Structure 1
C-alpha cells in the first residue's frame, strides 16, 4: 500500500517552522487515515518507549498517546531539528510496529502540527490539558486509568 498523499494544508504547516534550541514545543501527529492503532496498548507502548529514547534530543515534559494520535510537549536540545526529531520518532515506531506485528500499511500520516510555546504560556496548564485528552474523549473516567501518558509534573 502507498503512503497517503500530502493534504493541501500540510505544506502550510511547514511554512515558517523553526527549530529553536531550548525552546518548548507541543507537537501533534496522527496515524495514517486516523486509524485507532494505539487502542492496542502494546503498540502504544512502542511509542512510549520511543519517546523515552528521544530524551537526549528533547526533554519530555508530557505526552499522551491517543488511539489515533500523539500529543508531545517537550524542550528541544541545542543541536536538534524539530522536523528531524519527529521524522526519527515516526520512522522508528513504524519500523518497530511493522517488524513485530502483521501491520503493513503506513502507521503515521505525513507531517505534524507544531506549536512553539510562547513565554507567557503556562507549561503546567498546557501539560494538564494534554494529559486530560483521554478524559475528554471518554476513554476513561480518571486519567490514572489510562496507560499511555506521562508528565514530569504529577499532582494529586
Structure 2
C-alpha cells in the first residue's frame, strides 16, 4: 500500500480526478454518464458538498467540489465510486466482481482565486482537449453552460486555442 496523505479541505474547494480502471470507457454512453450524475446527487444529499464544476468523459471525470467542514472529500469520492459500481452492475446484469475504477484518485486543494479559475478552465476545456467537441458549449456532460449563463465565460471561449490559464496542466 502506498503512503498517500489526504489533507482536510479546511473549507476550501478541492479539484478531483477519478479515472476508470485501465482507461476503459465505462462512461462512454449517455446512460452511464446520467447514472454517475444521479449517484453524485444522491451522495451529495448524504455527505453535503457544493459541486462547483464538473465534466464527465468516457474514461474519467473531473470535479471541483467544496465539502462541508465535517465531510471528508475522500469519503465522497469513495461513496460515489462504490455506489456507481453497484448500480452499473445491476443495470448490466453483472453478477461477477468487476473493477470499474482505478484504486486511487487525484486531488488538489485550491489555494486561491487564480488557482480556482485555472482549474475551472481546465475542467471546462477538457472535452475540447480530448477531441469530443470543438466548442465547450456543445458538450452536454459538463457544467460549462451553467458557468457561461452566469457570465463566467463569453461565447466562443475555448474554441480557437487552449486557454492560457491552463498552461501545461495535465490531470489525466
For 2:29, the equivalent position in structure 1 comes to: 40
Paired residue secondary structure (2:143): strand
Cα shift at 1:122: 4.0
Which residue of 63, 76, 83 corresponds with 1:85? 76
CA RMSD of aligned residues (A): 1.9
Of structures 1 and 2, the one with the larger relative CO (CA 8 A, separation 6+) is: 1
For 2:9, the equivalent position in structure 1 comes to: 20
Residue segments in structure 2 that go unaligned for 5+ positions in a row? 156-172
For 2:122, the equivalent position in structure 1 comes to: 129
1:60-139 matches, within 5 Å, as 60-102=51-93, 105-139=98-132
Q: 4+ runs of 1 displaced by more than 4 Å?
A: none
| Structure number, greater radius of gyration | 2
TM norm structure 1: 0.83
Cα shift at 1:29: 0.8
Cα distance in 2 for partners of 1:92, 1:70 equals 15
Kept in 2, the 8 Å contact 1:124–1:153? The answer is no
Kept in 2, the 8 Å contact 1:62–1:127? The answer is yes
Q: Is the aligned partner of 1:30 residue 2:23? A: no
Cα shift at 1:65: 0.8
TM norm structure 2: 0.76
Cα shift at 1:124: 3.2
